[in-house]
Amino acid sequence: MSRSVPALVRSNEQLTALLRHLFAHRAVAVDTESNSLYAYHERVCLIQFSTEDGDFIVDPLTEIDLSPLGDLFADPTIQKVFHAAEQDVANLKRDFGFRFANLFDTMWAARILGWPRIGLADILEETFGVRTDKRYQRYNWGKRPLPPEALKYASRDTHYLLPLRDLQVEALERSGRMEEAAEVFAQLAETGPASNPFGPSAFWRLKGLEDLPPQERAVLYELFLWRDREAARRDVPPFRVMGERTMRVLARLRPHTPDELARLRLLRRRTFQKYGKAILEAIARGERNPPPPPPAAPSPPSESVIQRYHALRAWRRQVAAERGVQNDVVLPNAALWALAERNPSSPDDLVDIPGLGPWKRKTYGPAILKVLAASSQQPATRFRRRNSP
């Protein structure tokens, strides 16, 4: 396959022409590039398409009306081929409100087939002898103009997806796994819109908070809030304002004057000049205020629920080993917990379990019900951890 710089779509007229081309095909490869490493409010910066006839890149950062793309993504007669579709679908739903039908995910196909390496770069190298140019793995796709080499890198992710999909369809059909894959693909199409990972509630995702003294936790919280506000104002990820390690050291040592802050040598000169006063004010607020109350914890599951969950995990591990796939290819953890909590006793009771579609109910339903029945007949055992590896 020859490679050339893809066609760049930056106007409504160009998008109309592209859509005519895409609608003439039964399968279209799709990928996106976002600026999550460079923005507080992440956004889709490129949408790549490939057909057997060419590569195309739509630039959403222009004054282009992307709503006509919604018809393509929702069309059940045209297959949209992604690799690791979940994040792409979530981001496209968040930014543009698109709906999706008829997806094919080459990463999930590889997982279902038991391929040992499922990253796209690994698959392309092993299957097509294509090596990835790593210079653009952490590129800021929000920058304009985009150099030709960056555009070629972006189009690589879709250029080979259609022939890869053809190989995987043949393998899925040969192994009798196509129905299973189709069920996963349908669930991916229902992925919800992406949400912003930042904001005050992200404080509770920091590790080790419960081990901090109350005042240190209060100061860290105020520093975290200040950093988040500043990141949102500048539209950069919070770590580009201040690293977590620096915040933790400041919360522990709690300098009170500019000289004390400078002597710690934690901040670059420019950062000190720009933020020194705000940092000291955040530390002072943390020393005046009590630590924030943690969010309410969910009620712990009963011992019988935990016992059923572990019985299901043991069954899933055995099935996955026999198939040569990762455990969550058989069933995701969320489905195991739902099964353990609801404790279904008949096939009809399995219908509403999240992540348990018709194929999985037909294939695994009898074994699941048998495991649950056997577990319920055993005396409850105490488990120390809910999510053991």
- How far lies 191's CA from each of 40, 90, 93, in Å? 22, 6, 9
Q: What is the mean pLDDT of residues 307-313?
A: 97
340-364 pLDDT, tens digit per residue, is 999 999 999 999 999 999 999 999 9
**Domain limits of the chain?**
7-189, 200-288, 303-376
Task: Report residue 386's pLDDT band, with 50, 70 and 90 as the boundaries.
Answer: very low
Task: Report residue 378's pLDDT band, with 50, 70 and 90 as the boundaries.
Answer: confident
**What's the CATH code, domain 303-376?**
1.10.150.80
Q: What is the mean pLDDT of residues 159-177?
A: 98
Lowest-confidence segment of 81-90, 112-121, 166-175, 376-385 by average pLDDT: 376-385
Whether 389 has a pLDDT exceeding 70, the answer reads no
Tell me the CATH architecture of domain 7-189: 2-Layer Sandwich (3.30)
Task: Report residue 3's pLDDT band, with 50, 70 and 90 as the boundaries.
Answer: low
Do 57 and 35 touch, CB atoms closer than 8 A? no
Whether 4 has a pLDDT exceeding 90, the answer reads no
Rounded Cα gap, residues 80 and 84, in angstroms: 12
Dump the DSSP string for 236-302: S-GGGT--HHHHHHHHHH---SHHHHHHTT-S-HHHHHHHHHHHHHHHHHHHHSPPPPPPPPPPPPP
**What's the CATH code, domain 200-288?**
1.10.150.80
**H helix count then E strand count, the chain:** 16, 6
Percent with pLDDT over 90 in the chain: 92
Whether 388 has a pLDDT exceeding 50, the answer reads no
239-280 pLDDT, tens digit per residue, is 999 999 999 999 999 999 999 999 999 999 999 999 999 999
Do 255 and 275 touch, CB atoms closer than 8 A? no
Rounded Cα gap, residues 109 and 157, in angstroms: 16
Fold: same for 200-288 and 303-376: yes
Rounded Cα gap, residues 276 and 267, in angstroms: 9
Whether 94 has a pLDDT exceeding 80, the answer reads yes
Q: What is the mean pLDDT of residues 282-307?
A: 94
Q: What is the mean pLDDT of residues 275-291?
A: 97
Whether 385 has a pLDDT exceeding 50, the answer reads no
Percent with pLDDT over 70 in the chain: 96
pLDDT of residue 303: 95
Ramachandran sector of residue 324 (left: φ over 0; alpha: ψ -120 to 50; beta: rest):
left
Computed over every residue of the chain, the mean pLDDT equals 94
Q: What is the mean pLDDT of residues 299-322?
A: 96
**Distance between start and end Cα atoms, the chain:** 43
